[in-house]
Amino acid sequence: MIVFETKLKGTDGQYKALDEALRTARFVRNSCLRYWMDNKGLGRYDLNKYCKVLADNIDFPWVEKLNSMARQSMAERAWSAISRFFDNCKKKVAGKKGFPRFKKHQTHASVEYKTSGWKLSKDRREITFSDGFDAGTFQMWGTRDLHFYQIEQIKRVRVVRRADGYYTQFCVDVERNETHELTGKNVGLDVGLNHFLTDSQGQQVENPRFLRRDQKALKKVQKRVSRKQKGSANRAKARNRLGRKHLKIQRRRKDFVVKTARCVVQSSDLIALEDLKVQNMITNHHLAKSITDAAWSQFREWLEYFGKVFGVPVIAVAPHYTSQDCSKCGFKVTKTLSTRTHKCTSCGHVQDRDSNAAINILKKGLQQLSKNTGGHPGISVSGENDLCLEGETQTSKPTRGKRKPKERSLESPPSA
C-alpha cells in the first residue's frame, strides 16, 4: 500500500463544505466512543452498526449527509483507539495506558472515504465529492500521475486539512519493490545529538536542528498570537501563521529524514541500529526538545520501510553498554555523557565515542542476525512497516507549468 498526496484547489464555499464534513466525521467518532463508554462489552461491529443509528436520528440531521463508508471509517478509528488501550493494558505498559479520548476542534483534521463518495475525472486531475455536503469538484495540484493505476486499486481517499490548505490522499493497493545492488558493506548506526548519526565506517551526518534554528522566528510569531484578543479574527490569522511555521519545520525535518534513510539503505547490505525507547528518553526535560527535534523514531521508521522496499536487512539491537564497551577488546569503560572520546584502559584503544558505539552495534546486529536466520545474512529481518497506515506519506511536488494555488488561512473568515 502506497499513498499519493495532492493539494485541493477550490472556492471558499467548497472549503466550507469540507469543514462541515470534517466536523461531522469528528462528531461520529466521538459519539461512537461515548457509546462504547456507556455500554460495556461492545465490539468493533457494534460501533459500525451505531453509525446507522446516528444517521437515522432526527436530532442529528447532518450525520446523514456524510457518506456511509466515511461514517464507518470514523467508527473504525474509534475502535482503533480502544483496541490500542486494551493492548497496552495486556502488555502492562509502564505509565499511562492511553485511554481513548474525545477529539476536539483543531486545525489538523481528516475524513476518510472508501470506494464511494468520490469520483475522479477522466484526466485524473479533478476529484468530485458526491456526499450530502455538496463540496463539488476540486482541482488537484501535484505531479502524481494516477493513470498508472486502476480505479479499483484506490482503496481509500482521505481529505486532510492542514494549516496551509486542504489535501487529498489516495491509498493505492500496490506493492512497491525496487532493485538493490550489493555493495558488500554492513554498517552499524549510532544516532545522537552532537551528530545526527555516526556509522561504523567513521562517517558522520550533522544534526540539522531545524527547530533550534527557527526558534527565534517561532518565538516572534508566538508573541503576536499572545497579544491578540481571544476570539478575534486577528488572533485566528496569527494562529494560522504560527501553524504554517511549525508545518514548514515539520516538512523540512521529514524531507531530511527520508533522504538520509534512503541513502543509507541504498549504500548498505545490512544495517544495525539501537532499539531506543525514545518515549522514555524525552522525560529528561534538559534533552527533551533536542531529542524530539532529532526525530530518531521517524528515522527508524523510514529505515525499516526502505529496508523492506530494497530488501536490505534492518536490525534493531539492545542499546545496553554500546557506548561503554571497547570495540577492540570488549573491556567496559565507564563514561559520562559529556565524555566524547573513548579511551580503553585495558588495550589503550582511542576512538571517537560514537564511532566506537557504532562498531559495537554492528557486532550485535551480526550476532542477532546469525541467531535469527541460522547464518544466512541474505534474509531480511526488518519488520513490516506500512507508513501509509501511520500517516506517513511521500508528498507530491509542484506540477511544471502550473501555478501553486494561493495558501488560504484556515482560521480567517471566508471572503465575501
For 76-131, what is each residue's pLDDT tens digit? 999 999 999 999 999 888 888 899 999 998 889 999 999 899 999 888 899 999 88
Mean pLDDT calculated for residue range 186-197:
92
Assess whether pLDDT exceeds 50 at residue 411: no
Neighbour-count burial for 271-301, b at 16+ CB within 10 Å, e otherwise: bbbbeeeeeeeeeeeeeeebbebbbbebbbb
φ, ψ of residue 171 in degrees (nearest 5): -90, 105
pLDDT in tens, 142-163: 877 888 888 889 999 999 999 9
Question: Which residues on adjacent β-strands are paired with residue 117?
Answer: none
Confidence at residue 305, expressed as pLDDT on a 0 to 100 scale: 93
> Percent of the chain beyond pLDDT 70?
89
pLDDT at 178: 86
Residue 38: CB atoms within 10 A of its CB come to 8
In the numeric block, which cell numbers belong to residue 308? 523492506
Please say if the pLDDT value at position 167 is more than 70: yes
Lowest mean pLDDT among 4-18, 74-88, 210-224, 340-354: 340-354
Distance, CA of 200 to CA of 182 (rounded, Å): 18
Give the type of residue at 257: V
Does 260 have pLDDT greater than 70? Answer: yes
CA–CA separation, 22 and 28 (whole Å): 10
| pLDDT tens, position by position, 6-49 | 999 999 999 999 999 999 999 999 999 999 999 988 998 999 99
Question: Above 50 in pLDDT, residue 415?
Answer: no
CA 79, chain centre distance (Å): 20
Give pLDDT tens digits for 355-379. Answer: 989 999 999 999 888 877 664 444 3
Q: Average pLDDT of 40-63?
A: 92
**Range with top average pLDDT, 38-47, 246-255, 331-340:** 246-255
Residue 282 has pLDDT above 80, yes or no: yes
User: Of 393 and 319, which is predicted with more confidence?
Assistant: 319
Q: Which of 59-68, 192-201, 329-338 has the lowest mean pLDDT?
A: 329-338
Work out the average pLDDT over 243-271. Answer: 94
What's the grid cell of residue 298? 521517524
Give residue 197's pLDDT band: very low, low, confident or very high (50, 70, 90): very high
Least confident of 263-277, 363-377, 383-397: 383-397
Mean pLDDT throughout 169-183? 89
Q: Label residue 249 by pLDDT band (50, 70, 90).
A: very high
Q: What is the mean pLDDT of the chain?
A: 86
Using alpha carbons, list the distances in angstroms from residue 337 to 287, 323, 324, 341.
Answer: 12, 10, 11, 10
Strand partners, 369: none
